[in-house]
Amino acid sequence: MDERRRYVVLTEGFITDRHAKTAFGVMRYGRDEVVAVIDSSAAGKRVSDFHPHLRCEAPIVASIADALRFKPTSLLVGVANAGGFLPPAFRPYVLAAIDAGLEVVSGLHEFLNEDEEFCTRARLSGATLWDVRRPPERIPLFSGAAYRVPHVVALAVGSDCAIGKMTVMLELEEAGRVAGAHPEFVATGQTGIMIAGKGIAVDRVISDFVTGASEQLVLDVSAGTDVALVEGQGSILHPAYAPVTLGLLFGCAPDILVLCHRAGQKTVEDFDVTIPDLRSLARDHERILARVKPARCVAIALNTAELDDVHARAAIAAAEAETGLPADDVVRFGAAKLWAAVARAAEATEKRQPAR
Amino acid sequence: MDERRRYVVLTEGFITDRHAKTAFGVMRYGRDEVVAVIDSSAAGKRVSDFHPHLRCEAPIVASIADALRFKPTSLLVGVANAGGFLPPAFRPYVLAAIDAGLEVVSGLHEFLNEDEEFCTRARLSGATLWDVRRPPERIPLFSGAAYRVPHVVALAVGSDCAIGKMTVMLELEEAGRVAGAHPEFVATGQTGIMIAGKGIAVDRVISDFVTGASEQLVLDVSAGTDVALVEGQGSILHPAYAPVTLGLLFGCAPDILVLCHRAGQKTVEDFDVTIPDLRSLARDHERILARVKPARCVAIALNTAELDDVHARAAIAAAEAETGLPADDVVRFGAAKLWAAVARAAEATEKRQPAR
């Protein structure tokens, strides 16, 4: 779908619940438009009445029929609960959306495309069902074509999972656009895909094809993009998920790395792996890439959410002193400074010629 | 299946064809017994009449009925053709084996378990169908349990794919047994699985689970094993397959690495990646592991198949001088020397305590 979607976001009963974070992510960062929200408990209000920071003025309505007035193209299942199952209260809305011919988009573990009733009704109405976690059917093996893309590729890497790598790249995308550039966020995980409207959940791809999937993602950016900002996954320090991280490192063939870290975190969560100093960690990434497709770490994105302003500024200054690289918390202080670092590095990048 | 299989190997028409290499691998290295071979073109002869180096005296017969006299437990589909499809001439034999209640084992891309006729007949006879390329249904995420196994774990790594990593570990297993130790080969790819009778094709596992699959493999070695000899996959230098390699490096949590290299090879096949000197390559592996679970490279296994004896010996001497490690070609000169290096390193290994 090249056109932007016009989303009805289904949050029925969850408009103020953290499990609607998928919906909030799409409202705050999404490239597609949110034209209405369905939540019968809050019908008549607007999203901004509950969540002013999301910058979303969409009206809240009580039914698919009401939402159709806003000419939506798609229904987004806006909740990610623990089990990954569709909440029973959502089912009638999904069916009504299917009957109305809307595309239905879901990030749940339970695939819409494996639900017999949804599939049958979708065949009748012509509606499409998009399970964003399901990788495409035919992913080619890595070919080396990623070495020849015309745009610069920047990849977020980090000291652990769930430290804000996606948010960093989304904030950099906004800052780049404000600065007049044409960056594009490239989604590699479920929430990122819903925000971007496209992408591949690389951790769900068969391991032989994770580099191929990563390559397809950087080949598939919009025409005119100057910098692809690829959402990272996992960490090279993570005993369980490092292979996915390496799949992005080799498959995206990045020119530039942005190193993300939660200020003060000493070990990888769940495992007793010590996180080295940021300078060493940056160098580790550069070394792994050096023999295959070199890239430089050009900025440090710190997540200082757990610190007060004074300590946040001190942590940023310390990271800069230690690494000699620009550092910032892009959520707290904006992404202009780190975007400038990425843009400088991008300008200095000579896209390397075919390695194959 | 804890008991050894008694295999009938189906090579119908392929007994002298290189596409029967799966069969030859099982005959030469297999832990299971080959009690008969079915190939109507050669019935009445023995495998050793065609392939003395395989050390297999199994009789060749013309039908499943004839083979049943040797009390087989299983039929091995002994051919891997280019398309990965079952040769049409094989089908009646497979059906007869199923009807006789034999387990049928296949490494083909085309899964037996997706063939309606095979499945129906197997349900009737109680026969099981094992597609070795298909990963098990429920692979757990990596947990860290691999850090606590009582045996030493040795992993083959290398400068490229298809340079003999599996053969090196199989030869080391034989040499270890001759030396009175209790090593066990751990299969991570299709041919290795057929030889070992168990294993997981890690490159077919969803990328999030490749470390978990690798961990299961080292947890699942036979009781009494002193050294697990894990078949490697790919290379950290390979742009497409390095994530699978890293999955084994982190998931198996090796104590010892055996570095494999084809003497004289300068670049990774298919990609213009320069293979560094062996000392640097060994150190690269040690560095990647250092922060998570350290391991040392203790031996260099050279594949000198393309050299004459004089040049092979010179290449081995050069590798030893360069790395300070024992080097050898285990196929050409036997694996006793490299086994001794592995055994020494294994004795010096203190199994590290839980990292979690």
**Per-residue pLDDT at B355:** 39
Asked if residue A352 has pLDDT above 80, the reply is no
Q: Which ranges of A108-257 does DSSP label H, i.e. alpha helix?
A: 116-125, 165-178, 190-196, 210-219, 242-251
A21: tokens are: 């974070």
Structure tokens at A328: 């910032």
Q: Is B287 at the interface with chain A, CB within 8 A?
A: yes
What is the distance between the alpha carbons of residues B306 and B297, in angstroms, rounded to a whole number?
25
Which of A159, A152, A150, A309 is closest to A238 using CA atoms?
Answer: A159
| B205 CB-near residues (< 8 Å, 6+ apart) | A206, A207, B135, B139, B213, B247
- Give the pLDDT band (50/70/90) at residue A81: confident
> Which residues in chain A are closer than 8 Å to B202, comparing Cβ atoms?
207
| Token duo for residue A112 | 């819409």
Residues B23, B27, B33, B36, CA torsion sign: positive
Read off the pLDDT band of B81 (50, 70, 90). Answer: confident
Of the candidates A242, A272, A284, the beta carbon closest to that of B250 is on: A242
Q: What confidence score (pLDDT) does residue A181 get?
A: 98
Instruction: Report the amino acid identity of residue A63.
Output: S
The CA radius of gyration of chain B, in Å to the nearest whole number, is 21
Buried b (16+ CB within 10 A) or exposed e, A53-67: ebebebbbbeebebb
Measured between CA atoms, how close is A144 to chain B, in angstroms? 8
B252 to chain A, any CB pair closer than 8 A? The answer is no
| DSSP-derived secondary structure letter, B206 | B
Q: At what angle do helices A91-99 and A116-125 cross, to 10 degrees?
A: 20
Q: How far is the alpha carbon of A238 from chain B, nearest alpha carbon, in Å? A: 8
Residue type for B21, please?
K
The pLDDT assigned to A354 comes to: 38
pLDDT tier at B2, thresholds 50, 70, 90? low
Please, which pLDDT band fits residue A27 given cuts at 50, 70 and 90? very high
Residue B351 clears pLDDT 90, i.e. is over it: no
Q: Which helix (H) or strand (E) holds A15?
A: none
For residue B205, the chain A residues in CB contact (below 8 A) are 206-207
pLDDT (tens digit per residue) in A45-69: 999 999 998 999 999 999 999 999 9
Evaluate the CA torsion angle A109, A111, A115, A118 in order and state its sign. positive
As a whole number of angstroms, the distance between CA A313 and CA A310 comes to: 5
Which chain B residue has its CA at the smallest distance from A159's CA? Answer: B291
Q: Which residue of B has its CA nearest to A248?
A: B243
CA–CA separation, B51 vs B300, rounded Å? 29
More confident residue, A22 or B35: B35
Q: Measuring CA to CA, which residue among A130, A35, A18 is closest to residue A73? A: A35
Q: What is the pLDDT of residues B187-243, one digit of tens each?
A: 999 999 999 999 999 999 999 999 999 999 999 999 999 999 999 999 999 999 999
- A8–chain B nearest CA distance, Å: 31
Exposure string over A22-42, b if 16+ CB within 10 A, otherwise e: bbbbbbbbbbbebbbbbbeeb
Among positive and negative, which fits the CA dihedral A138, A139, A143, A146? positive
Q: Residue A39 is encoded by which pair of tokens?
A: 């939540």
For residue A211, the chain B residue with the least C-alpha distance is B240
Nearest to A244 among B208, B236, B292 (CB): B208
Mark yes or no for CB contact B204/A202 under 8 Å.
no
Give the tokens for residue A351: 């896209």
Pick from A250, A287, A356: CB nearest B287: A287
Note whether A291 contacts B274, CB cutoff 8 Å: yes
* Type of residue at A181: A
Q: Which residues of B touch A272 (CB under 8 A)?
A: 355-356
Chain B neighbors of A246, CB-CB under 8 A: 242-243, 246
Best mutation target among B139, B203, B208, B236 (most A Cβ atoms within 10 Å) is: B208
Q: What is the mean pLDDT of residues B47-69?
A: 95
In tens, the pLDDT along A131-188 reads 999 999 889 999 999 999 999 999 999 999 999 999 999 999 999 999 999 999 999 9
Angle (CA) A293-A299-A300 rounded to 5° is 115
pLDDT of residue A21: 85
Section B103-116 average pLDDT: 94
Rounded-to-integer distance, Cα A182 and Cα A225, Å: 5
- Listed in sequence order, the residues at least 6 apart from B132 whose beta carbon sits closer than 8 Å to its beta carbon are B105, B106, B107, B190, B193, B194, B199, B201
- A100, with CB counted inside 10 A (0-12, 13-18, 19+), is middle
The pLDDT of residue B167 is 95
Higher pLDDT, B214 or B355: B214
Judged by a CB distance cut-off of 8 A, whether residue A239 touches chain B is yes
> What pLDDT is stored for residue B84 in this prediction?
80
User: How confident is the prediction for chain B on average, in pLDDT?
Assistant: 94
Query: pLDDT of A276-305, one tens digit each?
Result: 999 999 999 999 999 999 999 999 999 999
Tell me which residue in A202, A211, A243 faces B210 most closely, judged by beta carbons: A243
Both structure tokens of B141: 């995420």
8-state DSSP, A163: S
Task: Calculate what percentage of chain A has a pLDDT beyond 70.
Answer: 97
Q: Return d(Cα B274, Cα B269) in angstroms, integer.
A: 10
Could A243 and B241 be called an inter-chain contact, meaning their C-beta atoms sit closer than 8 Å? no
CB count in 10 Å sphere of residue A140: 12
Q: What are A86-135's pLDDT values in tens digits?
A: 999 999 999 999 999 999 999 988 899 999 999 999 999 999 999 999 99
In chain B, the percentage of residues whose pLDDT exceeds 90 is 89
Give chain B positions within 8 Å (CB) of A247.
207, 243
- Confidence label for A2 from pLDDT (cuts 50, 70 and 90): low
Closest residue of chain A to B213, computed from CA coordinates: A240
- Contact: B271, A239; criterion CB under 8 Å: no
What average pLDDT score do residues B345-356 get? 68
Calculate mean pLDDT across residues B134-153: 95
Asked if A246 reaches chain B (Cβ–Cβ under 8 Å), the answer is yes
**Nearest CA to CA, how far is B307 from chain A (Å)?**
27
ipTM of the complex: 0.91
H-type alpha helices, chain A: 21-29, 47-50, 64-67, 91-99, 116-125, 165-178, 190-196, 210-219, 242-251, 278-290, 309-323, 330-333, 336-348
User: What chain B residue is nearest to A189 in terms of C-alpha separation?
Assistant: B208
- Position B3 confidence tier, pLDDT thresholds 50, 70, 90: confident
Residues B11 and B22: their CA atoms lie apart, in Å, by 10
Interface test with B, best of A208, A273, A283 (most B CBs within 10 A): A208
User: Rounded CA gap, B47 and B37, in Å?
Assistant: 8
Taking CA–CA distances from B292, the nearest residue in chain A reads A273
Q: Is B353 a residue whose pLDDT tops 70? A: no
Q: Would you call B288 and A288 a contact, using CB atoms and an 8 Å cutoff?
A: yes
How many interface pairs between A and B have CB atoms less than 8 angstroms apart?
121
Tell me how far apart the alpha carbons of residues B31 and B29 are, in angstroms, rounded to a whole number: 7
Q: What integer is the mean pLDDT of A319-335?
A: 97
A291·B244 Cβ contact <8 A: no
Which chain B residue has its CA at the smallest distance from A241's CA? B208
* pLDDT the model gives residue B301: 98
String of DSSP letters for B7-63: EEEE-TT-TTSGGGHHHHHHHHH-SSEEEEEE-GGGTTSBHHHH-GGG---PBEESS
Gap from B40 CA to chain A (nearest CA, Å): 38
Task: Kindly determine whether residue B355 and residue A210, on different chains, have CB atoms separated by under 8 Å.
Answer: no
Q: In this predicted structure, what is the pLDDT of residue A355?
A: 39
B241–A contact, CB cutoff 8 A: yes
A179 interface with B at CB cutoff 8 Å:
no
Cα–Cα dist A137/A151, whole Å:
26
